[in-house]
Amino acid sequence: MKSMFTVIKEQINSFYLICRLSMFELKSENNNNYLGLAWEFINPMIQIFIYWMIFGIGIRGGQDINGVPFILWMLSGISLWFFANSAILDGTRSIRKRINIISKMSFPMSTIPTYVIFSRLYQHLLILGAVIVILHFKGYMITIYYLQLPYFILSAIIFLVALTLVTSTLSMIISDVQMIVQAIMRMVFYVTPLIWYSPNLPGPLSTLIQVNPLTYLVEGYRASLLGGSWYFIDNIEYTLYFWGLTLILLMIGSSLHLRFRNHFVDYL
């Protein structure tokens, strides 16, 4: 617990620095492209179009899901996936990628995965804004359920910080962790209700989907954007599970990080 409070304090005290570094990170990655930051929007849109053509038109034949057009159902959930996937992959390798530079600077290493996640958050907010506009013109107006959307965004950030504290530390100790996380994320894509829906799944597969914390966030986004329900209240047991898992990851990640960060350079 002491390690967790230490890391939380480092995040709070360095919040301004996190915001500055995240903006620099975002600009530097697109500095050499003619379209610049526009690629942060173009790439996800291309992927969404491909998923829609294959899964929406090809496999489902354009059928609705619970009365919602497939493309809108997919958009409301997959916007979270692009954020989570890039944040986890980039957050996992964040410390290893920057260790030679940060070892000469005086700011907490625990903030490195956080500012990388924040740099992906800007892209996410841009995509989310576009999704809201599309939903509006398709008849899904802004409702009172949008009030829970900031909660789910904040929940996603906290979960991703907790998870990448674990993975970025393990990645410094064992470099293969980066490849393991990348492989796991490919599987997680298909056990998260993003591009397919079936209420009658076999028991083990249904359980695997439910224990996936990204399912909680994705369904929360859908409930917010499509005006379905107060998801975090109506599914209070799932909410408690999500925050319990997040707390455990934060405790483990903080403990591992503080224990090994003074020796990160030795593992290179």
Please give the pLDDT value at position 157: 96
For residues 84 and 160, is the Cβ–Cβ distance under 8 A?
Answer: yes
Please give the pLDDT value at position 49: 76
Question: What residues have CB less than 8 Å from 1, skipping those under 6 apart?
Answer: 251
Annotate 131-149 with b (16+ C-beta within 10 A) or e (fewer).
bbeebeeeebeeeebeebb
Q: Tokens representing 138?
A: 């398709």
Please give the pLDDT value at position 155: 96
Please give the pLDDT value at position 238: 94
Question: What residues have CB less than 8 Å from 199, skipping those under 6 apart?
Answer: none
Of 183, 169, 244, 197, give the one whose Cα is nearest residue 70. 197
Question: What residues have CB less than 8 Å from 226, skipping those under 6 apart?
Answer: 68, 72, 73, 76, 135, 140
For residues 8 and 246, is the Cβ–Cβ distance under 8 A?
Answer: no
Q: Which domain holds residue 201?
A: 2-267
Q: Tokens representing 31?
A: 């500095």
Of 223, 258, 236, 192, give the one whose Cα is nearest residue 2. 258
Please give the pLDDT value at position 56: 58
Sign of the CA dihedral running 246, 251, 256, 258: positive
Collapsed DSSP state (helix, strand, coil) of residue 142: coil
Annotate 22-52 with b (16+ C-beta within 10 A) or e (fewer).
beebbeeeeeeeeeebeebeeebeeebeebb
Please give the pLDDT value at position 208: 84
Number of domains in the chain: 1
Q: How would you write the pLDDT of the chain (268 residues) with one tens digit per residue?
A: 788 899 999 899 988 888 888 888 777 766 665 555 666 667 777 777 777 676 656 655 667 777 788 888 888 888 899 999 999 999 998 888 877 666 666 678 888 899 999 989 988 998 898 889 888 888 888 889 999 999 999 999 999 999 999 999 999 888 889 999 999 999 998 888 887 766 666 667 778 888 999 999 999 999 999 887 899 999 999 999 999 999 999 999 999 988 887 776 655 5
Please give the pLDDT value at position 199: 64
